Amino acid sequence: MKVSTMRRILATENLVGCEMDALRKQFDVTFEPELWKNPAKLREMIGEYDAIMVRNQTKVTAELIGAGKKLSVIGRAGVGLDNVDCDAATAAGVVVVYAPEQNSISVAELALGMMLSLARMLPAADASTKAGGWDRKRFFNGIELYGKTLGLLGLGRIGFLTAMRAKAFGMKIVAFDPKISADSPMVVESGARLTALTELLAEADFVSCHIPETPQTVKMLGYEQFCRMKPSAYFINTARGGVVDEAGLGKALEEKKIAGAALDVRAVEPPAGLLSKADNVLLAPHIGAFTVEGQERVMRSVCGDVAAVLRGESARNFFNFAQPRKAAKS
């Protein structure tokens, strides 16, 4: 049965697919994929909508939530909630729904792909060969993942999936995660050995970052930490750019304190260019979650939960509560 078009959804980023098409058949959906760039206009508009749907670019601040007089649900198409003021949403009685694990496989596979690319110098080899070269001697010193030690910063869902795939390559797994215990299923099934951060950095041949950006983790990894790594080691970040002090990373790379790095996420996106000229750095534009399969799962989950809340039903994947806690303001 078609829901009244009085229930309105505002999509502020590029949210497309059959699940969004299904929402349009039930609700009045306004699609403004560039609106995240204009916070002032967004604040002016939000008061007329019952739901807002975002990715990671839109800043859903306390001020914006306060301006959302009719707002009952915020839909975040992804796992990270650092761009949503969840405390403000909870205080306002607004449901926050997201996709806590739907794109985890996509991110884990990218982390492994970046490790392989660094180990075999694939981007440089590709560029050299396409330029007419056949420089086999230059790329003679690639390394195998087999037998190497992978250090995981964070052993949550994505860290665990990365560990299981690395294990299939014959890698040894060590992990730093203060929030889990040695008898956790994540540890037992992956065969990871929990260790302190300093020990992990000194031991690992590849360090892969899978920790959220919080006030406690901002710039957690800087020049001092990178200097603790082996000169032959590589750093991979598919989590959040803010956990890395990019100036410190750049200095460590320039001084050959580490062998190289692969970054899918940056402290500022799009970045100002720092690290872009280093030949031992592999960069991607925050595409970890962007696979066909991963996005289908994400959109199915978030669109389903937004629709459920607007119909007066309970959300399944929610951060705070399954239904709005107070009536929308008139």
- In this model, does residue 221 exceed pLDDT 80? yes
- Indicate whether 149 and 212 sit together in one domain: yes
Q: What are the two backbone dihedrals, phi and then psi, of residue 58, each rounded to the nearest 5 degrees?
A: -75, 130
Mean pLDDT of 195-217: 96
- Indicate whether 18 and 120 sit together in one domain: no
- In this model, does residue 179 exceed pLDDT 90? yes
Active-site residue identified among 254, 269, 293, 313: 269
The token pair at 212 is: 């959220």
Asked if residue 173 is part of any domain, the answer here is: yes
- Indicate whether 85 and 163 sit together in one domain: no
- Indicate whether 215 and 146 sit together in one domain: yes
- In this model, does residue 327 exceed pLDDT 70? no
Its domain, for residue 17, covers 8-102+292-310
Is 269 assigned a catalytic role? yes
Active-site residue identified among 157, 165, 240, 297: 240
Active-site residue identified among 7, 210, 286, 297: 286
328 pLDDT tier (thresholds 50, 70, 90): very low
Closest CA to 234 of 226, 244, 225: 226
Q: Is there a contact between 295 and 14 (Cβ–Cβ < 8 Å)? A: no
Is 266 assigned a catalytic role? no
Mean pLDDT of the chain: 94
Asked if residue 1 is part of any domain, the answer here is: no
CATH code of the domain containing 48: 3.40.50.720
- Indicate whether 264 and 121 sit together in one domain: yes
**3-class secondary structure per residue, the chain:** CCCCCCCEEEECCCCCCHHHHHHHHHCEEEECCCHHHCHHHHHHHHCCCCEEEECCCCCECHHHHHHCCCCCEEEECCCCCCCECHHHHHHCCCEEECCCCCCHHHHHHHHHHHHHHHHCCHHHHHHHHHCCCCCCCCCCCCCCCCCCEEEEECCCHHHHHHHHHHHHCCCEEEEECCCCCCCCHHHHHHCCEECCHHHHHHHCCEEEECCCCCCCCCCCECHHHHHCCCCCCEEEECCCHHHECHHHHHHHHHCCCCCEEEECCCCCCCCCCCCCCCCCEEECCCCCCCCHHHHHHHHHHHHHHHHHHHCCCCCCCECCCCCCCCCCCC
What's the total number of domains in the chain?
2
Q: How high is the pLDDT of residue 108?
A: 98
In whole angstroms, how far apart are CA 189 and each of 23, 152, 159? 39, 15, 12
- In this model, does residue 14 exceed pLDDT 90? yes
- Indicate whether 274 and 296 sit together in one domain: no
Q: How high is the pLDDT of residue 311?
A: 95
Read off the pLDDT of residues 75-95 as tens digits, 9 standing for 90 and up. Answer: 999 988 989 999 999 999 999
- Indicate whether 159 and 85 sit together in one domain: no
- Indicate whether 56 and 154 sit together in one domain: no
Mean pLDDT of 92-103: 96
- In this model, does residue 3 exceed pLDDT 50? no
Asked if residue 2 is part of any domain, the answer here is: no
- Indicate whether 68 and 141 sit together in one domain: no
- In this model, does residue 330 exceed pLDDT 60? no
Asked if residue 233 is part of any domain, the answer here is: yes
Total-model pTM = 0.88
Q: How high is the pLDDT of residue 5?
A: 52
Q: What are the two backbone dihedrals, phi and then psi, of residue 152, each rounded to the nearest 5 degrees?
A: -105, 120
In whole angstroms, how far apart are CA 281 and each of 112, 123, 186, 278? 15, 10, 30, 6
Read off the pLDDT of residues 248-291 as tens digits, 9 standing for 90 and up. Answer: 999 999 999 999 999 999 999 889 877 877 778 999 999 999 99
Place of tokens 């006030």: 215
- Indicate whether 297 and 148 sit together in one domain: no
Is 240 assigned a catalytic role? yes
Mean pLDDT of 160-187: 96
